[in-house]
Amino acid sequence: MSENTPQTEPGASSAKGVAIGVVVLLVILVVLYALTDRLTPASSRGVVSAQVVQIAPRVSGEITAVHVEDDAVVAAGDPLFSIDTRPYELAVRRAEANLEQAVQNIDASSASLVAAQAAVTQARTALENTRAEAERTFRLEERGIASPAQGDQARASVAQAEAGLESAQANLDSARAQLGSGGADNPAITAAEAQLEQAQYDLASTTVTAPHLGVVTNVTLSEGQFVGAGNPALTFIDAEAAWITVDLRENQLQGIDPGDPARLLFDAVPGRIFEGRVQSIAWGIAPGRNEQGGLVVNQPANRWFEPARRIPVRIELDGGMEAWPRAVRVGGKVHAVVFADGDTSGPIAYLARGIQRLRSWASYLH
């Protein structure tokens, strides 16, 4: 009877063990992938983003000087380029003459009035620029990028500019009072003052300055070139408001909230990993559906599995702009790992950290 019992060959038993081991390994890998995809979603498709502004002049004219070179770093208020001032100087002289004529009709002098009006125009322009820079600083302060000291300094600058405008306006009111009762509310004088202020403002706008600290790039301006008011003349990149945009699949966003920690690996800085935090998650994307005749065009399904939709997630570097590596450029590639629910110490988190560390070493090679 023992002679008829089938015997299991050693090779078949070994193959069966290997097959079971492979299946178990695949199951473990699938489970680990699912856990890491939910608890520590990662993407190598991150992009360095920043505020990119097309600088346009307020007035039209021929460029007489370009004060910056391509890819130059500029501070707030640095001149970028200048427009021919002659037409605007003539407009100021014409407005001054009109004001003088209107004042002479009541037998008074316009010299103090013209000087006071010029001071008001200069103070109002300075206040507009200061407020614009301060509002930007306040937004960065709310997000923790700008320090409270920078916010206090911006508020003090605004208060100082407002005081300067109030002082200039008081001097203008005093100059108007010197004209007597017949000139303070004279419509002709009021119209001439408004014309002079507009002419002075246009003249001040012939020199285009940097709105704040940043970089000018793609500079193609040259002397003799004509630029129109409102038409982009050069590209300005804000150096104090950069972030990382990472596209994550919809099913990776389940546990992600603003404030969750993230680790960032820049291709421009191989071997180093930076700390960051989720600032926001986009509320929508364009699905690419077209309309025709007022109706949505049907998109036929020609794939077994429709590609996953990806939602942009905005991540900011801890430490603000002072922590940004100098080698990183706008549009550069970033690998990001987000720790959902803020968990940075669990086993899955340590696994994600280890994988990213290996990736940082490999980034020296590609």
Mean pLDDT on 214-227: 90
Give the residue with greater pLDDT, 27 vs 105: 27
Q: Which residue has the higher pLDDT, 269 or 212?
A: 269
Quickly list DSSP for 252-283.
Answer: G-TT--TT-EEEEEETTSTT--EEEEEEEE-S
Average pLDDT over the chain, rounded to an integer: 84
pLDDT beyond 60 at 60: yes
pLDDT at 8 over 90: no
| 11-48 tens-digit pLDDT | 677 777 788 888 888 988 888 888 888 889 999 989 99
Q: What is the mean pLDDT of residues 201-213?
A: 91
Owner of token pair 């001040």 = 204
SS3 45: strand
CA 96 to centroid of chain Cα atoms = 41
Residue 139 has pLDDT above 80, yes or no: no
Q: What is the pLDDT of residues 188-199, one digit of tens each?
A: 778 888 898 899
Which residues share a beta bridge with 292?
A: 295
pLDDT band, very low/low/confident/very high, at 334 (cuts 50, 70, 90): very high
What CATH superfamily classification does 39-50+241-286+309-366 receive?
Efflux pump adaptor protein, beta barrel domain (2.40.30.170)
* pLDDT top residue among 149 and 257: 257
Q: Are 334 and 265 in contact (CB under 8 A)?
A: yes
pLDDT-wise least confident of 68-72, 147-151, 269-273, 325-329: 147-151
What is the arithmetic mean of pLDDT over 60-68?
94
CATH class of 57-84+206-231: mainly beta
Reported confidence tier of residue 10, pLDDT bands at 50, 70, 90: low
Q: What is the mean pLDDT of residues 300-304?
A: 69
Residue 132's pLDDT band, with cuts at 50, 70 and 90, is: confident
- Spatial distance between the Cα atoms of 194 and 314, rounded to a whole number of angstroms: 46
Choose among 355, 319, 310, 361: nearest CA to 45: 310
pLDDT of 81 over the 90 cut: yes
Q: Whole-angstrom Cα distance, residue 17 to residue 15?
A: 5
pLDDT recorded at residue 107: 52
Distance of alpha carbon 259 from the chain centroid: 19
One-letter identity of residue 277: R
| pLDDT over threshold 90, residue 109 | no
Sequential DSSP letters for 160-190: HHHHHHHHHHHHHHHHHHTT-TTTTT-HHHH
How far apart are alpha carbons 68 and 350 in whole angstroms?
48
Is the pLDDT score of 1 beyond 70? Answer: no
DSSP bridge partners of 248:
311
Cβ–Cβ under 8 Å, residues 180 and 106: yes
Ranges 19-23, 138-142, 171-175, 232-236, most confident: 232-236
Residue 91: predicted pLDDT? 94
Which residues, at least 6 apart from 291, have a Cβ–Cβ distance to it below 8 Å? 297
- Please state the domain extents for the chain: 39-50+241-286+309-366, 57-84+206-231, 85-205
